[in-house]
């Protein structure tokens, strides 16, 4: 049997009946559609969504932001649910490219349905069409190809029958997931065809828990038994596979200490006896010292970014070996590792049995405990500096951490905040720390917080954002107010791009172009530019206040918690008071030739530090 419908109607009818399943638990795969309508989708996807309310539609203000929201929703849902995003052709479509890159880099499933130019070509060039003298088989949507895990253009209705199931396979793949792009020419969207009824029936996509090779598992257990200073690096794969409990039990059984990447923070609660905190360039002293000395690294669900490896300077033991547990074969093979290609949870459970009886030496355990205690004292010191006003960024983090509940979520993405949060935030719940640091995309924070709240409406969400990132993309405050999806936004006003300003000075420069200053004598070195963020946020519909002290901030946070509406709390922070780095380094090349003495000195330090970089074969 078939039903006569348009391509757009078939897309909507298909998506609302797709489900994911893992461990016997089913979830609707595509929970809704975010969109902005234009001539390239209003009469197609727009008409289909209006006609069939089975797929809930959300009106957004910026196309990039809505992809960020979908990615955050997927991350908060452990990649078992996502949202679709629809746009018109042209700028609406290309505005999503940054969001697509973010989703793919972070391995987060999002479904993008950009409008496209006419497939029949007879009215070309249409409004917003990019023409090429070399080919007619191109549009701006081809820009998505490098940043998508799956890409297709539907030029005939029957192509949907093979394209959409392939798209669902990628969305639900633990190893291949990322941005999925199905381009829909505006004339094809409105074209009718006889759609098979079975194509539109409910379909459940099983998300498997793959198991690794038995022989490699046995060899990994042997490596663990022969190690003296093993260390676990927990990445995002721990959280996506819901392996926190298995990791906690494995760490307790073996005594092996655990450090965490940005994506993996929260794999263990901060007070777990084997938990050392952040790893790498934004890491804690304990994690980085033990990484430097480790003879065995067990990487779980990490892709070993340069921040995690401190630009390949983190692991200095000449005899260090790596075991990598990862669903992605590509990542499992990094660092010349013994690759255990499989789901983190089941692999950890099987490895625990294979390594049964192993326990680190009591002297090693005592050292881990001493490093933990020293770090907790340092965090407490930074949280309670009593600096200023303006107060320090570390103190702001401390107050927000104190006021937030055990299941609440902190959201951030860019600037100096992620590094400080990685070190200082005391995570109590596996989903309590939501950082986008694969792309570290300015503007993600508010849209991301919206996505987290949509996925977890029972949790309070605290978005921490710097003034630079806020000014790039604050408009989804309107969406949160419109939808009644409350988030708590803490806006740190440091009058510029604090993170890059600090990096500039560390490179021997003077922070040029990183502070908001009026132009004076031909340079941006006049008085600071004052921005009234409270009035701005209020104009977008939020409850907005300014805090000046720790007590002001705490009171404002408590009021925001009690409120049912999105709040923005603005607090000025001291640009110069920074959380230090600990036992680590990040490779940012310094000018090899310069007439500036501070740059020359920075270059000398850089050359020496770079000698510690290692390659593993």
pLDDT at 599: 95
pLDDT at 514: 85
Residue where the block lists tokens 């990039």: 64
CATH number for domain 384-572, candidates 3.40.50.970, 3.60.130.10, 3.40.50.2020, 3.40.50.620: 3.40.50.970
CATH 3.40.190.10 fits 2-206, yes or no: no
278-287: pLDDT as tens digits: 999 999 999 9
Q: pLDDT band for 500, please (50, 70, 90 cuts).
A: confident
pLDDT at 238: 98
Question: Rounded to an integer, what distance in angstroms lies between the CA atom of residue 293 and that of residue 284?
Answer: 15
Q: pLDDT band for 499, please (50, 70, 90 cuts).
A: confident
Q: Write down the mean pLDDT value for the chain.
A: 96
136-188: pLDDT as tens digits: 999 999 999 999 999 999 999 999 999 999 999 999 999 999 999 999 999 99
Phi, psi of 511 (to 5 degrees): 80, 25
0.75 exceeded by the pTM? Answer: yes
Mean pLDDT computed over 412-420: 95
Q: pLDDT band for 545, please (50, 70, 90 cuts).
A: very high
pLDDT at 101: 98
SS3 at position 312: coil
Helix (H) or strand (E) holding 363: helix 362-383
pLDDT at 504: 86
CATH architecture of the domain with range 214-374: 3-Layer(aba) Sandwich (3.40)
Half-sphere exposure of 169 (CA within 13 A, CB side): 7
Mean pLDDT computed over 105-124: 96
Q: Which residues does 159 contact at the CB level (< 8 Å), separation at least 6?
A: 152
Domain boundaries, the chain: 2-206, 214-374, 384-572
247-273: pLDDT as tens digits: 999 999 999 999 999 999 999 999 999
Q: Which residues does 462 contact at the CB level (< 8 Å), separation at least 6?
A: 400, 404, 408, 409, 410, 411, 449, 487, 488, 490
Mean pLDDT computed over 296-315: 98
Single out the residue of 9, 1, 14 nearest to residue 164, CA to CA: 14
Q: pLDDT band for 191, please (50, 70, 90 cuts).
A: very high
Q: Is the pLDDT confidence value at 512 over 90?
A: no
| Tokens linked to 47 | 């008409």
Neighbours of 275 (CB within 10 A): 24
Question: Rounded to an integer, what distance in angstroms lies between the CA atom of residue 68 and that of residue 452?
Answer: 10
pLDDT at 204: 98
Mean pLDDT computed over 301-313: 98
Angle formed by the axes of helices 214-226 and 344-354, to 10°?
60
Phi, psi of 408 (to 5 degrees): -70, 165
pLDDT at 607: 96
């Amino acid at each position: 049997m078939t039903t006569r419908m348009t391509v757009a109607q078939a897309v909507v009818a298909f998506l609302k009946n797709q489900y994911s399943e893992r461990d016997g638990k089913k979830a609707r795969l595509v929970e809704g559609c975010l969109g902005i309508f234009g001539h390239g989708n209003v009469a197609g996807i727009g008409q289909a969504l209006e006609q069939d309310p089975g797929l809930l539609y959300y009106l957004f203000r910026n196309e990039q932001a809505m992809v960020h929201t979908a990615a955050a929703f997927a991350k908060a849902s452990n990649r078992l649910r996502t949202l679709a995003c629809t746009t018109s052709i042209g700028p609406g479509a290309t505005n999503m490219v940054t969001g697509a890159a973010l989703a793919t880099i972070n391995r987060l499933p999002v479904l993008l349905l950009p409008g496209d130019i006419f497939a029949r070509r007879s009215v070309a060039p249409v409004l917003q069409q990019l023409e090429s003298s070399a080919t007619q088989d191109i549009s701006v949507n081809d820009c998505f190809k490098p940043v998508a895990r799956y890409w297709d253009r539907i030029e005939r209705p029957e192509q949907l029958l093979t394209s959409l199931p392939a798209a669902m396979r990628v969305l639900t793949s633990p190893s291949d997931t990322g941005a999925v792009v199905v381009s829909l020419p505006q004339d094809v969207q409105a074209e009718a065809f006889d759609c098979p009824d079975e194509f539109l029936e409910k379909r459940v996509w099983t998300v498997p828990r793959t198991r690794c090779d038995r022989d490699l598992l046995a060899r990994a257990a042997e490596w663990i038994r022969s190690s003296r200073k093993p260390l676990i690096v927990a990445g995002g794969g721990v959280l996506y596979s819901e392996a926190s409990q298995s990791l906690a039990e494995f760490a307790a059984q073996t005594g092996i200490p655990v450090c965490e990447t940005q994506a993996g923070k929260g794999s263990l609660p901060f007070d777990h006896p084997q938990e050392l905190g952040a790893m790498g360039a934004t890491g804690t002293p304990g994690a980085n010292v033990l990484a430097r000395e480790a003879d065995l690294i067990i990487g779980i669900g990490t892709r070993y970014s340069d921040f995690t490896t401190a630009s390949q300077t983190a692991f200095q033991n000449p005899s260090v070996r790596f075991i990598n547990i990862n669903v992605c074969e590509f990542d499992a093979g990094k660092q010349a590792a013994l690759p255990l290609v499989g789901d983190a949870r089941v692999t950890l459970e099987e490895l625990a049995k294979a390594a049964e009886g192993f326990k680190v030496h009591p002297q090693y355990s005592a050292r881990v405990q001493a490093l933990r205690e020293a770090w907790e004292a340092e965090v407490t010191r930074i949280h309670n500096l009593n600096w200023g006003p303006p107060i320090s960024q570390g103190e702001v983090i401390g107050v927000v951490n104190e006021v937030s509940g055990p299941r609440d979520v902190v959201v951030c993405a860019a600037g100096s905040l992620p590094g400080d949060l990685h070190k200082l935030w005391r995570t109590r719940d596996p989903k309590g720390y939501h950082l986008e640091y694969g792309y570290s995309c300015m503007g993600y924070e508010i849209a991301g917080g919206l996505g987290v709240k949509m996925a977890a409406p029972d949790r309070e969400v605290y978005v921490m954002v710097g003034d630079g990132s806020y000014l790039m993309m604050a408009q989804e405050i309107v969406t949160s107010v419109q939808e009644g999806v409350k988030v708590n936004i803490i806006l740190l006003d440091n009058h510029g791009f604090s993170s890059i300003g600090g990096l500039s000075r560390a490179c021997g420069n003077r922070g040029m172009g990183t502070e908001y200053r009026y132009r004076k004598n031909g340079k941006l070195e006049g008085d600071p530019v004052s921005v009234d963020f409270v009035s701005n946020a209020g104009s977008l519909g939020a409850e907005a206040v300014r805090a000046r002290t720790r007590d002001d901030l705490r009171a404002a946070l408590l009021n925001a918690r009690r409120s049912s509406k999105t709040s923005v709390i603005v607090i000025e922070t001291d640009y110069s008071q920074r959380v230090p780095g600990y036992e680590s380094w990040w490779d940012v090349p310094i000018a090899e030739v310069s007439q500036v003495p501070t740059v020359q000195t920075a270059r000398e330090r850089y050359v020496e530090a770079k000698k510690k970089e290692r390659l593993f074969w």
